[in-house]
């Protein structure tokens, strides 16, 4: 009996060790497999691009790419910081800077992949000139995307911002508002879904695509891609930027094959970063 108990105990230890080696029950969502990388991403276009890489490019590099989809702009960084993810791919640098300023985190960008031009959309009017005085405009409520939305409106002549307001401009930086527009700050993911309730809405490209809006055709105004600082990034926790699997994925995401995939699939609604 003692010998059987000992054998059973040794088997349990061996099983536990085996499970740990596979990453089951461990702190990291991807485990310790050096050929597997778990990436948190927004559904569109980030997860779509990653799934293209996972299916068509990564196997040739002996890399397994797993994708975990998030529908907000906070949890992917929380999960990266706590080790549940190896990387995330959903945010641009101004947002990352604001997030780390507000919440902390040791993050490093390893590749700029694509740009989603921010757009102004409406179900009430078909051109900017038809926006009525006092119209309500939904804008993202996070500092970087909110400032980006106000800059888009300013670039269209709908308002004027204080000189030097920058990417984190707020309503306090508005120095002229000839149409007396009012603003409804919402979580970025909700701006597209608010179109029935407001006169117009400034929507991030990925959320526009998610509700079947075509930025190139449906936007009343669209952000220029030229000298655009809002390229979406592959981000990792500091200290992992030189991991082999991270470098492999970064190279694939910026490859000619991915650039062609973006061009063919999104027809200008998403642009490969230069």
Q: What is the pLDDT of residue 33?
A: 67
| Average pLDDT for the chain | 88
106 and 142 fall within a common domain: no
* Six-digit token string for 123: 């179900």
Q: Is residue 71 part of a domain?
A: yes
Q: What is the pLDDT of residue 210?
A: 87
- On the question of pLDDT at 110 being above 90, the answer is yes
Neighbouring residues of 34: CB distance < 8 A, sequence distance ≥ 6: 244, 245
Q: Is residue 54 part of a domain?
A: yes
113 and 234 fall within a common domain: yes
Q: What is the pLDDT of residues 171-210, one digit of tens each?
A: 999 999 999 999 999 999 999 999 999 999 999 988 998 8
Using DSSP's 3-state secondary structure scheme, residue 233 falls into strand
Q: Compute the distance between CA of residue 265 and CA of residue 259 in angstroms, rounded to an integer.
A: 10
| 3-state DSSP helix/strand/coil % of the chain, to nearest 5 | 40, 20, 35
Alpha helices in the chain (DSSP H): 2-22, 48-56, 75-81, 93-103, 143-155, 205-210, 215-218, 244-253, 256-266
Q: What is the pLDDT of residues 148-161, one digit of tens each?
A: 999 999 999 999 99
106 and 124 fall within a common domain: no
Q: Compute the distance between CA of residue 121 and CA of residue 103 in angstroms, rounded to an integer.
A: 31
The arrangement of strands across the sheet holding 271-272 comes to 64-69, 36-41, 87-92, 232-237, 107-115, 271-272
82 and 212 fall within a common domain: no
- On the question of pLDDT at 113 being above 70, the answer is yes
* Six-digit token string for 36: 């597997």
Q: What is the pLDDT of residues 52-88, one digit of tens each?
A: 999 999 999 999 999 999 999 999 999 999 999 999 9
User: Please, are residues 204 and 140 in contact by the beta-carbon 8 Å criterion?
Assistant: yes
Query: What's the predicted TM-score (pTM) here?
Result: 0.72
Q: What is the pLDDT of residue 259?
A: 97
Domain that holds residue 79: 26-117+229-272
Residue 96 is part of a domain; what is its CATH number? 3.40.190.10
Interval 247-254 mean pLDDT = 98
Q: What is the pLDDT of residue 89?
A: 98
């Amino acid at each position: 009996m003692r010998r059987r108990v000992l054998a059973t105990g040794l088997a349990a230890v061996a099983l536990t060790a085996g499970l740990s080696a596979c990453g089951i029950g461990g702190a990291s969502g991807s485990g310790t497999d050096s050929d597997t990388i778990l990436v948190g991403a927004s559904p569109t276009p980030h997860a779509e691009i990653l799934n293209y890489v996972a299916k068509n490019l990564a196997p040739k590099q002996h890399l397994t790419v797993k994708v975990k989809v998030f529908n907000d702009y906070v949890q992917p960084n929380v999960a990266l910081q706590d080790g549940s993810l190896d990387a995330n791919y959903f945010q641009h640098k101004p947002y990352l800077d604001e997030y780390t300023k507000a919440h902390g985190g040791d993050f490093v960008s390893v590749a700029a992949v694509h740009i989603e031009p921010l757009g102004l959309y409406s179900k009430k009017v078909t051109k900017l000139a038809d926006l009525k005085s006092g119209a309500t405009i939904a804008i993202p409520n996070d500092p970087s995307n909110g400032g980006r939305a106000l800059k888009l409106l300013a670039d269209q002549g709908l308002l004027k911002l204080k000189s030097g307001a920058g990417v984190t401009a707020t309503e306090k930086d508005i120095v002229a508002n000839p149409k007396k527009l009012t603003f409804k700050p919402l979580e970025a993911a909700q701006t597209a879904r608010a179109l029935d309730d407001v006169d117009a809405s400034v929507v991030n490209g990925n959320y526009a695509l998610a509700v079947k809006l075509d930025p190139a055709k449906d936007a009343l105004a669209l952000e220029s891609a030229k000298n655009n600082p809002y390229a979406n990034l592959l981000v990792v926790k500091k200290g992992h930027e030189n991991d082999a699997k991270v470098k492999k994925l970064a190279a694939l995401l910026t490859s000619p094959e991915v650039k062609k995939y973006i061009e063919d699939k999104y027809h200008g609604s998403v642009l490969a970063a230069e």
